[in-house]
Chain A
Amino acid sequence: MHANAYAPARWDYLAGRVEVGRSLAATRASMTFCGHVHEPRLWTLSATGKLGEFRPVPGTPIPVPGHRQWLAVVGSAGQPRDGDPAACWALFDSAARTLTWRRVPYDHGSAARRIREAGLPERFAARLETGD
């Protein structure tokens, strides 16, 4: 989940447009899922090789037809980086060919408190509370 399709063993992040383009070019799969970049994103490569970036709206099923290539950064369940403390997950419906992001609020206050009680770095706790 932390890797890419062009050099999986190197565990490089898909940090931006260039890496995403390389990863999509390295696979013939229509759908690629990855995590660890934390911010939910949907990338798509058109037949003419143009790369598009989209910030998904939770709860809206996005059609992801199989003739295009897609790369979904699913987001994070416990380390959000997009300002929303709710946990993030996505559902891929392979029959309807849709992808739906979801946000699930949880008691992040308690989780942050336990991080502090365990003596872990403050920024891990603060991130859960602010989503940044």
Chain B
Amino acid sequence: MRTILEPGVELGGFVLRERMHAGSMASLWRVERPGDPTPMAMKLPRVRDGDDPAAIVGFEVEQMIMPRLGGPHVPRFVAAAGFDAEQPFIVMERLDGPTLRARLDDAPLPAHEVAEIGARVADALHDLHRQHVSHLDLKPSQVLWRPSGEAVLIDFGLSRHDRLPDLLDEEFRLPMGTGPYISPEQVRGVRDDPRSDLFALGVMLYHLSTGERPFGFPQTLRGLRKRLWRDPVPPRAHVPDLPPWLQEVILGCLEVDPARRWQTAAQVALLLRHPGQVPLGARADKRRRDGARTRWARWFRSIGHEAQASAPVARHLATAPIVMVAVDLSNGVDALAEALRETTRRVMRAEPAARLACVSVMKVARIAAESTVDASGRSLHVKGLADLSNWSRALGLPAERVTHHVLEAPDAADAIVGYATTNQVDHVLMGARASSALRRYLGSVSSQVVAAAPCTVTVVRVAGHAGADGEVATTAGQPETTP
């Protein structure tokens, strides 16, 4: 006997209050648990005979994945009942809308607003990918917002956890996703590439900034396959004053080959937050779609193209890290800055997909705004950037792998940790100066960063110089690294 779903009915200790949404796969109810003030929603799959098995398997997938997710970018999991119970369900934290879908009605949005929205969604995606999960059905109606501003991703019915069995892959051979957003590799049946989510993010950015869908809304497999060879109309053909950097970011998400896209959501967030640092390539200024020759070449490649096994989500993130190097050039390119550059060179050589963010901190007074124009009238900020790119030039890295940032802050350690946190940096490289009485008293910047950074920190010293109390000096070639 099936439970009749109506207000007042109790299920597993939760009381149904009102139906918020009824979809083809599941219905969503506002529920309460006596004595618990948490706003909660219960998702109930449609399990009548003759229903789409995708609804059932998708629900099983969500039940597997949701309890393993945490953090601000997903709804908090509360409870679940499986298919061996009388009525299966998932209870989760309730987030009130509207979803990002509502903003599509206002498109085209100004570039800065698209970048702001995109960076927040990219943050959420990166957090999900770090938890071993590719969403694989990202679209505006799956994005909600916390009052504090974080994007929250919902609906993991088509998602893939790289350490759990993929129940969908064995069940269905047709591509799974939503027509406008599905990536080319998903069309070919690949379900384990986190970069598929970056393609969907690109579709969202395209739609928000132009008001148009890059690949329309195909309803057939044939229509879906078209994106394997046909590139979208460049956004600037729709909106002529759309900035080149935004077009570069969007088209960099929409590349057919995942290896030619931006490699991680953190990289996309970093670019959207620093438009001046987007490396402008041929994509940035494109006004029309690729010619017939390129298209035919892609079409030939797409025929008989077999899906290849790709690396698990976490391993993929590990091969495309964001490395941040904090350089102090207040004494020019001294021995420490050189030693730090040598370590940076080694790290970047070992990780061919890594991006490098070169950062220096310009101290400003805590309260009064100090003059940031020096005696000769040049902006100190601009000079800081010039010094930094001069320092990094010797690394010989291509422009698209390096960005430069001068942070203006009263406290260097705070600024470095703050930057590393906001930009999902994976590895901080920085120098530590030799011991001095003052440094012992105040504590070194590097030790503060080591203590507070959310990632690996490598501290570089010049060989042969004594360290501060309790620290062992190492040569630049053998930096001490904290996990």
A interface, CB within 8 angstroms of B = 42, 44, 46-48, 50-54, 57, 60, 62-63, 65-68, 97
A66 to B81, CA, bound (A): 12
- Contact-residue bracket for chain B: 10 to 19
| Residues B82 and A46 in contact, CB atoms below 8 Å apart | no
In the bound complex, how far is the Cα of B56 from the Cα of A68, in angstroms? 12
Residue interface mask B32-55, A partner, CB < 8 A = 1 = 000000000000000000000100
Interface pair A52/B166, CB less than 8 Å apart: yes
Q: B399 interface residue, CB < 8 Å from A?
A: no
Indicate if the CB atoms of B53 and A62 lie closer than 8 Å.
no
**Contact across chains for A46 and B167 when beta carbons are under 8 A apart:** yes
Q: Say yes or no: A66 contacts B84, CB within 8 Å.
A: yes
Q: Does B414 contact A (CB under 8 A)?
A: no
Give the shortest distance, in Å, between B170 (CB) and chain A (any CB): 3
> Are A46 and B170 neighbours in the complex by a CB distance under 8 Å?
yes
Contact of B64 among A52, A53, A63 (CB under 8 A): A63
**Residues of B participating in the A interface, judged by any CB pair closer than 8 Å:** 53, 56-57, 60, 63-64, 82-84, 163-167, 169-171
Q: Which of A50, A60, A65, A97 contacts B171 (CB 8 A)?
A: A50
Q: How far is the CA of A35 from the CA of B419 in the complex (A)?
A: 51
Assembly CA distance A124 to B345 (angstroms) = 45
Q: Chain A residues near B64 (CB, 8 Å)?
A: 63
Kindly report which residue of chain A lies nearest to residue B161, judged by CB atoms. Answer: A60
Are the CB atoms of B83 and A54 closer together than 8 Å? no
Task: Give Cα A104–Cα B432 distance, bound, in whole angstroms.
Answer: 40
Are A52 and B163 interface neighbours, CB within 8 A? no
Question: Are B60 and A52 closer than 8 Å at their CB atoms?
Answer: no
The DSSP consensus for interface residues of chain A is loop
Query: Which of the residues A47, A51, A54 comes within 8 Å of B56, measured between beta carbons?
Result: A47
A42-B165 in contact (CB<8A): yes
| Pairs A–B under 8 Å by Cβ, sample size 21 | A44-B167, A44-B170, A46-B53, A46-B57, A50-B170, A50-B171, A52-B167, A53-B170, A54-B165, A54-B166, A57-B163, A60-B164, A62-B164, A63-B63, A63-B64, A65-B60, A65-B63, A65-B83, A66-B84, A67-B83, A97-B82
Give bound CA distance, A57 to B64, whole Å: 15
Cα distance A57–B315 when bound, in Å? 13
Interchain CB contact (< 8 A) of B82 among A44, A60, A66? A66
Tell me the minimal C-beta distance from B355 to chain A in angstroms.
28
User: Which partner residue on chain B sits nearest A45 by CB separation?
Assistant: B170
Q: Is the CB of B169 within 8 A of A52?
A: yes
Given contacts A47-B56, A48-B53, A50-B171, contact A67 B82 (CB under 8 A): yes
Chain B's nearest CB lies how many Å from the CB of A31?
13
CA distance A97 to B67 in the complex (A): 14
Min distance, Cβ A73 to any Cβ of chain B, angstroms: 13
Closest to B132 in A: A60
10 other A-B residue contacts (CB within 8 Å) besides A60-B163, A65-B63:
A46-B170, A47-B56, A50-B170, A50-B171, A60-B164, A63-B63, A65-B60, A65-B83, A65-B84, A67-B82
Residues in A neighbouring B63, C-beta threshold 8 A: 63, 65
Query: For residue A42, which residues in chain B have a CB less than 8 angstroms away from its CB?
Result: 165
How far is A65 from B165 in the complex, measured between Cα atoms in Å? 12
Name the distance in Å between A93's Cβ and chain B's nearest Cβ.
14
